Structure 1
Amino acid sequence: MTSHVTTHVLDAVAGRPAAGVGVTLSRHAGGGLTGVASAVTDDDGRVRELGPERLEAGVYRIVFATGEYFAAREQRTFYPQVTIDFSVEDGQGHYHVPILLSPFAYSTYRGS
């Protein structure tokens, strides 16, 4: 079974998808990070395929460029970026990592 990553960013203040958010995916390896992929959320706030179709088991990091997103809307924000580390296990398939975003808070969960 393949393991791959998707995400969805919703702007809780505006009540709509957060289009144009930069997203990077890295893998923890050898005490550092190795870049895997980068993308920008589409008009629906989604990145439908982030990285390769097959990820090795390990710990990964997604970074959302939330500061740039809010700066483009002339809004102050407390979080210049949102960083989420998560584990990928063999045979677990799809990893959906969404965030609900506002300038001073965010939440995330493992989606489906």
Structure 2
Amino acid sequence: MRQIMAAAESSPLTTHVLNTGDGVPAARMALSLHQLDSKQMIWNMMSVGTTNEDGRCPGLISRQAFTPGMYKLRFETGSYWETLGQTCFYPYVEVVFTISDPDQRFHIPLLMSRFSYSTYRGS
């Protein structure tokens, strides 16, 4: 596992978290990237990080480490809302997705409020 650095290399996988309830980026939200070991059926943590002031977390994974397989991004939404003095319905959000062509770029935004969330594959 590696810790994400602010000035990390360009990642083939990016995310952007938006607090749609307040209309602002979700800054300082903890998140982690995991890959499924398909033989043992366990998730291996690849990296951890925190969103910046723009709600982005650069450097999630290097091009070399990005291989075909199943991944998940886990967003610590409960802790984020707690820091704002609020409660939420979802203590965390996990977005699971499959990568078949790691040469492409993948963008996975998370749009969230205290009681809902949505995601999609962006570009």
TM-score normalised by the shorter chain: which range applies? over 0.9
1:5 corresponds, among 13, 32, 36, to: 13
Gap runs ≥5 in structure 1: none
Matched, 1:78 2:89: yes
Task: List, as ranges, runs of 4+ consecutive aligned residues in structure 1 with deviation greater than 4 Å.
Answer: none
Distance in 2 of aligned mates of 1:49 and 1:96: 12
Identity of aligned residues (%): 37
* AA at the equivalent of 2:55: G
Partner in structure 2 of residue 66 of structure 1: 77
Structure showing the higher strand proportion among its residues: 1
CA RMSD of aligned residues (A): 1.2
1:38 touches 1:51 (CA, 8 Å); kept in 2?
no
> In the TM superposition, what is the alpha-carbon distance from 1:47 to its structure 2 partner?
1.1
> In the TM superposition, what is the alpha-carbon distance from 1:4 to its structure 2 partner?
2.1
Matched, 1:32 2:53: no
Gap runs ≥5 in structure 2: 1-10
Partner in structure 1 of residue 25 of structure 2: 17
Q: Which SS does the other structure have where 1:111 is aligned? A: coil
